[in-house]
Structure 1
Amino acid sequence: MPNTDDFLQRQEQIIDTTGWAVTHVLPTADDPDTTAPFAYTVGLTAHDYPELITAGLPPEVAHSLLNDLARRVYDKAERFTHGQRISDLIAGYDAIIIDGPPTDELLPAMAINRYGREKTRLQQLVWPDREGRFPWDSGYDFDPQAQPLIAQL
């Protein structure tokens, strides 16, 4: 198992090469049900963009979606706004971006440690259920804790 120094060194290499890295936070064997898995970027803050975060998705899916969004931000200077629908990210579904602060459930610790809490802004990629409903919609098909939110729409 790599130690923290190895992890930070690898993260630094990825940020230097790509402009950002994706970090995953997964439930542990000691705490399997109290934390939804989430992933977030580290590195966009250095370029005056919010870090991107998403919750409740398998790590490989979250990683791919965040890389796609980060590429738009970093390579094309695309800016997302609170409530913006994105129709070309998840095949057959819209996703929505929401702005908000870090929360106890969605804490981008590596970004905060790197840039400070006051500089670290977040935008969350929120995904729908199979019927296209979001966590704030009536009838959303998942438990609210499956996809914790940094803010409401």
Structure 2
Amino acid sequence: MPDIDDFLRNQERIITTRGWAVTHVLPTDDDPDTTAPFAYTVGLTAHDHPELIIAGLPPLVAHTLLNDLARQVYDKAERFSHGQRISDLIAGYDAVIIDGRPTDDLLPGAAIARYGRLRIRLQQIVWPDQQGRFPWDSGYNFDPHIQPMIAHL
């Protein structure tokens, strides 16, 4: 089983090669219901960009979405703003960007360890339910614990 040093070396290699890495936080067998799965980037802070974070999606989907947006940020210096709708990220649905700080539910530990909590800015990619409603909309079809928020729109 890899230890934390192996994890950090691998993360450093990915950041050096690509400019960012994606880290996943998943529920454990010991505590399967208390943590929503989430993923976040590490490395964008070094280039004066917020780290990106997404919650409640399967790891492969979250990883792909974060890489797509991080590529736009890193390669094209694109900036996203609080409340911005992104229509070309999730097929058939808009996503919304929310600015905020780390929370107890969405704590990007590897980014904080690398840059310090005060330096970390986050932009969360918020996804809708099947009817296109977001967590702040009436009738949102998922339990709020599925997609915890770093802030509200």
TM-score, L = length of structure 2: 1.00
| Counterpart for residue 59 of structure 1 | 59
State the 1:21 CA deviation: 0.1
Shift of 1:126: 0.2
How far 1:79 moved relative to its partner?
A: 0.1
Whole-angstrom distance in 2 between the partners of 1:33 and 1:3: 25
**Do structure 1's residue 102 and structure 2's residue 102 form an aligned pair?**
yes
Give the secondary structure class of the aligned counterpart of 2:152. coil
Q: Does 1:131 align with 2:131?
A: yes
Equivalent position amino acid for 1:27 in 2? P
Q: Which secondary structure state, in structure 1, belongs to the residue aligned with residue 123 of structure 2?
A: strand
Q: Percent identity?
A: 80
Structure 1 residue 41, shift from structure 2 partner: 0.2
How far the C-alpha of 1:65 sits from its partner, in A, is 0.1
Q: Deviations over 1:1-26 (max 9, x none)?
A: 21111110000000000000000000
* Residue identity opposite 2:4 in structure 1: T
Q: Give the aligned length.
A: 153
- Structure 1 residue runs of 5 or longer lacking an equivalent are none
Matches within 5 A, 1:28-39: 28-39=28-39
- The letter for the 2-side match of 1:39 is A
Moved over 2 A (4+): none
Q: Which runs of 5+ in 2 are unaligned?
A: none
TM-score (norm 1): 1.00
Cα drift, residue 139 of structure 1: 0.3
CA drift of 1:116 comes to: 0.4
Question: For residues 101 and 46 of structure 2, what CA distance do their matches in structure 1 show?
Answer: 17
